[in-house]
Amino acid sequence: MATPKDYAFMRRALELAQLAAERGEVPVGAVLVREGQVIGEGSNRPIGNCDPSAHAEIVALRRAADAEQNYRLPNTTLYVTIEPCTMCFGALMHARVGRLVFGANEPRAGVVESQLKLSEAGFFNHKISVESGVMAEEAGRLVREFFHDRR
């Protein structure tokens, strides 16, 4: 069940997504939190960074890992505006993120609920708890408007 803190951190992720849109990137924002403190955040940057892996989730994980000086990020929650793709979900698993909170589903590439349901797969040696749909309308609207304006 989503908490008031979940909504506060998701609002920050939405702010980051808006910044990505202003740079011409797909509007996705991510915030990584441990014990109520932001330890990493990011927004989509693959175009600007010329880096296909620079999704918001990866940027947030990289910043947190650098700040923590550890590639493992246990006891953390990642807030992201859109359901993660395969690459991002894999990175969350490798980092040992404990909880994922996301906004809107991504029907084509989302792998947590929409497609592969990787969060339910039994072959991983780590389990991430998932809370979906937090501020889904706001997150989905950002993406819809972004692509509508580009057409």
Q: For 133-151, what is each residue's pLDDT tens digit? A: 999 999 999 999 999 998 7
pTM of the model: 0.97
Which of 15, 22, 25, 57 is an active site residue?
57
Q: Is the pLDDT of residue 119 over 90?
A: yes
Is pLDDT at 49 greater than 90 in this prediction? yes
Over the stretch 19-35, which tens digit does the pLDDT of each residue have? 999 999 999 999 999 99
Residue 57 designated active-site = yes
What is the pLDDT at residue 150? Answer: 85
Q: What are phi and psi of 11, to 5 degrees?
A: -60, -40
List residues forming the annotated binding site for Zn(2+): 55, 85, 88
Quote the pLDDT of residue 14: 98
Q: Is 64 exposed, middle or buried (0-12, 13-18, 19+ CB in 10 A)?
A: buried
Helix axes 56-68, 4-22, angle to 10 degrees: 110
- Mean pLDDT confidence for 3-11: 98
pLDDT of residue 67: 98
Token pair, residue 64, equals 């947190």
